[in-house]
Amino acid sequence: MSLLQIHDPAASPRPIGIDLGTTNSLVAYVGAMGEPVVVRDCDGEALVPSVVHYAGDRVTVVGARARDLALEHPRDTLVSVKRFMGRGADDPETRTLGPYRFASATGPVVRFEVGEGRVVTPVEVSAEILRDLRERAEDELGRVGGAVITVPAYFDDAQRQATRDAARLAGIEVLRLLNEPTAAALAYGLEHRKNGRFLVFDLGGGTFDVTLLDLDDGVFQVRATGGDSQLGGDDFDRAIASRLLEHLGHREAPSAPPSAVRYALEAARSIKHALTDHDLVETTLDHGGQSVLLRVTRAEFDAWTAPLVARTQVACRKVLRDATCSAADVEGIILVGGATRIPSVRRAVASLFGREPLADIDPDLVVAMGASLQADILAGQGPRQDVLLLDVLPLSLGIEAMGGVVERILPRNTAIPAEAAQVFTTYAENQTGFEIHVVQGERELAADCRSLARFTLRGIPPMPAGLPRLEVRFAVDADGLLRVSASERTTGMSQDVEVKPTYGLDDAAIEQMLLDAYEHGERDVVARALSEQRIEAERVLAATDKALAEDADLLAPDERSRIDAAMAGLRTACGGDAHRRIVARIEDLDAATREFAGRRMDRAIRRALTGQSLASVETDTARAAGLDAHMPPSMREDD
């Protein structure tokens, strides 16, 4: 950047793209020739370390200067804060991510105690980084417009909302939140005019995303997304740092002084970078009065981090399986994130896919470049207006139905923006309200998924069970944020809610949800079937009790004893855990009551026809022909 910039005050504000990273962040824009330009400082550095130091007098320092203060002030300097976005204070992982002081051990939001008793949240820390990036762009462009900010593909509603809030605090208008792998594919596809099926392998500082997508003449359609989201360059650093702490006399990292932990992490990062280009690194550990000469080989580093590399392979195979394709179908692998420079990572990618990955665009810069291109498109200022991005949901969205089962309305890997609805009915007689419980996850029971929101639709007139029609509609926007609405069709009562959980799924929880869905899939299906059959059994028993009370005089000799025996058998089966036995006992009860039910139907028809003319009967029959007033709870209409 030159020392003197001259700007046209009448020029339109320039949209920007921001890569808000765990380790480093940067900002880019589209130049006059339609090419993405990364903003650099006066030293030519594009990367801004995602580090914030809180000094006295409410002074904050961001970037490289803050990183230099981390060793001396480890608790007042916040590093890799992106990993805290969307976490609760009582999350067990929270306190393993850094040597910080936490304002509270419980609560929905992490709060850090920093210089002079000041308390800040991850949103506020991220806002400081975003504000610094905005000011950098203003120094070069004069006026900046809205921004496209990238997020990991596996960020959930709460984490995306937290990112939006941080941008608002920084004075930035968010045009769109864009998944990082999609941004990288956008930069690569438009730069090289490539078509075909590509896999984006994004191993950043704190998260790992893998996305399979098709590029076809300006249409970028994501087929499947996955990842191991508690995995990144920071974890490779920790694998080295734990060995360094042992050499400094600290057998267990959690018990080591904060200054020693910070020193070991910084030394580990330097060793990792050096081993990218060299087979051997010699370094002197000088901390706490100790001085230790240490030699680390690339083979040792590869052995220490082999479990981390193996986790990337597992995630890649899952995405291929979700997209029902093989590694041979992938025409190119795009590397994103600084950690993809690690030789063992690149070897593993080449081995899995049988080809060398594509890395001709700097993996540290490609996400911001893609974000700037998308910002230019959304602002309608650039030449590329025929580009369409189709992202997908990382996890299924649904509601809790009777028996605690999940009715999925939007399954994972659905292209977004998306909208879908389902129609439900009541189970109980004279029900005047519906409680809507919105959940996210892949398990069959709501108790095993993450709760996102609850709200109640009230004011429905009492009606017989099965008559009301409740339509629940889910709408997910291009940012992946969810809005839920519910309406009762016969009365017009409605309510909608924008789902804004106080805190949501952290990346590890999302990955664990998918693992649980695979590991417990068969058991979940059995549990769901058992719950559904118990509900059906309760409905049948209640209906039978009501019929016996109203029309006992229609029972034939010995018929009551057979029905009672069948009902007792059904109740016994409901107390067990075999859903097929419940099905069999329902069939037994149906057989025992079939003739009784026929006699009740004859009586009901005689009562209904008494005193009516043939014409009125025909009119009533025609009016009721299209009304399915007795739809079972398990049935629904799809929209």
89-127 tens-digit pLDDT: 666 555 555 667 777 766 667 888 887 778 888 888 998
Give, for 145, the enclosing helix (H) or strand (E).
strand 144-151
| Highest averaged pLDDT of the listed ranges 50-64, 123-137, 178-192 | 123-137
Cβ burial 499-517 (10 Å sphere, 16+ → b, else e): bebebbbbbbbbbbbbebb
- Cis, peptide link before residue 417, omega less than 30° from 0: yes
Q: Which amino acid is residue 134, in one-letter code?
A: R
Told to judge if 180 belongs to the known catalytic residues of this protein, a careful annotator would answer yes
Residue 254's pLDDT band (cuts 50, 70, 90): low
- SS3 state of residue 227: strand
Which one of the listed residues 76, 128, 180, 266 is annotated catalytic? Answer: 180
Which one of the listed residues 19, 228, 266, 444 is annotated catalytic? Answer: 19
Which one of the listed residues 76, 82, 234, 237 is annotated catalytic? Answer: 82
Category of 429 on φ-ψ map: left (φ > 0), alpha (ψ -120 to 50) or beta: beta
Residue 1's pLDDT band (cuts 50, 70, 90): very low
Told to judge if 202 belongs to the known catalytic residues of this protein, a careful annotator would answer yes
Mean pLDDT value across residues 319-335: 90
Which one of the listed residues 128, 202, 266, 488 is annotated catalytic? Answer: 202
Mean pLDDT value across residues 521-538: 74
**Residue 637 scores a pLDDT above 60:** no
- What pLDDT is attached to residue 133? 94
**Residue 128 scores a pLDDT above 70:** yes
The residues, any chain, with a CB within 8 Å of residue 560's CB and separated by 6 or more, are 548, 552
Q: Supply 545's token pair.
A: 């009790």
Domain 397-506 has CATH 2.60.34.10: yes
Told to judge if 364 belongs to the known catalytic residues of this protein, a careful annotator would answer no
- Model confidence pLDDT, tens digit, residues 173-219: 999 898 888 888 888 775 556 678 889 999 988 788 888 988 877 67
Domain 233-303 has CATH 3.90.1150.10: no
Q: Supply 269's token pair.
A: 């990062």
Provide the residue ranges of all domains of the chain, joining segments of one domain with +. 14-192+364-383, 233-303, 397-506, 518-607
- Torsion angle of the four alpha carbons 253, 269, 24, 57, in this order, in degrees rounded to the nearest 10: 60
Q: Superfamily assignment of 14-192+364-383 in CATH?
A: ATPase, nucleotide binding domain (3.30.420.40)
Quote the radius of gyration of the chain (alpha carbons, Å). 30
- C-alpha 381/C-alpha 221 separation (Å) is 23
Predicted structure pTM score: 0.64
Q: What class does CATH assign to 518-607?
A: mainly alpha
Residue in this structure with the two tokens 């058991």, named with its chain if needed: 523
Q: Which of 167, 72, 59, 93 is nearest to 123 (CA)?
A: 167
**Higher pLDDT, residue 622 or 52:** 52
- What pLDDT is attached to residue 460? 74
Give, for 213, the enclosing helix (H) or strand (E).
strand 208-216
**Residue 230 scores a pLDDT above 90:** no
Of 215-224, 327-336, 589-598, the least confident? 215-224
